[in-house]
Amino acid sequence: MGSSSALIALLVVLGCAAAATATTYTVGEGQGWTVGPNYSTWASGKPFVAGEKLVFNYASQAHTVTEVTKSDYDACSSTANGESGGSTTMTLKAGDNYYICTVGTHCSAGMKLAITAADSSSGSPPATGTPPTTPSTTPSGAPARLHAVPVLAAAAGVLVKLALF
């Protein structure tokens, strides 16, 4: 009987871990990180939380992803070169996060992104920035955090079978 209680407690913990899995957002969705999309519109309504990931997909060496300060964001300038490999993943920190492309006039043409992320420990939405909505999807079409569900379900099934023997 004691082992059954321990297994139930373990299943509850695994369920909570699945719910806490960070979301991965693909910046610009199918258009990617390029000149043209309105990244403010793309970010609007997404419930960004610290620890979540932004994936920037772009033509290698044609663009950069550079994390900058607010003043550099506003001025579209940076002394850093940033990443230029074609796919860059950035982890959001609590508060304001600013990204620009430092190639030519790309930033002033709109290739810049400002995100306000809630503190992951508070669970509350950002004080400023974006109101909640549905997270972006992975290439398979399912939200990124749903990819952990089948693994956890299989583990739970094995644990239940072990508890019955």
pLDDT of residue 81: 87
pLDDT for 47-77, tens place per residue? Answer: 999 999 999 999 999 999 999 999 999 999 9
> What's the mean pLDDT in 84-111?
97
- Return the pLDDT at 131: 33
Assess whether pLDDT exceeds 90 at residue 147: no
Instruction: Give the residue from 104, 148, 133, 146 showing the smallest Cα distance to 41.
Output: 133
Query: Which SS3 state, helix, strand or coil, does residue 30 take?
Result: helix
Positions of E strands within the chain: 24-26, 53-57, 66-68, 87-91, 95-100, 112-117
Confidence band of 124 (pLDDT split at 50, 70, 90): low
Question: CB–CB of 75/65 below 8 Å?
Answer: no
Confidence grade of residue 41 (pLDDT, cut at 50, 70, 90): very high
User: Residue 24 pLDDT more than 90?
Assistant: yes
pLDDT for 99: 98
Residue 83's DSSP bridge partners are 65
Distance CA 22, CA 131 (A): 17
Lowest mean per-residue pLDDT among 4-8, 71-75, 142-146? 142-146
Q: What does the pLDDT read at residue 12?
A: 45
